[in-house]
Amino acid sequence: MEITQIITDGADCYPWHGYFAILPRKTIGGKRVFWERAYRRKVWVVWGTGFHMEPEVQYANLFEILSMKEIV
């Protein structure tokens, strides 16, 4: 199944905050960050038709956050 929706303002969701990536992490843009400054947030992802939701932690670097379309 694929992700159909990402909920960023629901219960138990957190905004972007600074994080130092000691272990390799995959960012929202598909890049790998390792041993450098990154950002992370907790969101809810909806799988398939909308009946299954799970929490997920997303990682990004500063340029990926600035290029997101939801921030105006």
Quote the tokens at residue 41: 């947030």
pLDDT of residue 68 exceeding 80, the answer is yes
For residue 9, give both structure tokens. 């303002």
In a domain, 72, yes or no: no
16 in any annotated domain: yes
Tens of pLDDT, residues 4-45: 888 999 888 999 999 999 999 999 999 999 999 999 999 999
pLDDT digits (tens, 9 = 90+) for 43-53: 999 988 878 88
Q: What is the mean pLDDT of residues 58-71?
A: 87
Domains in the chain: how many in total?
1
Give the model's pLDDT for residue 71: 53
Domain extent for 10: 3-66
Count how many residues are written for the chain: 72
Supply the pTM of this predicted model: 0.84
Average pLDDT, the chain: 90
Backbone torsion region of residue 63, taken as left when φ is above 0, otherwise alpha when ψ lies between -120 and 50, otherwise beta: alpha
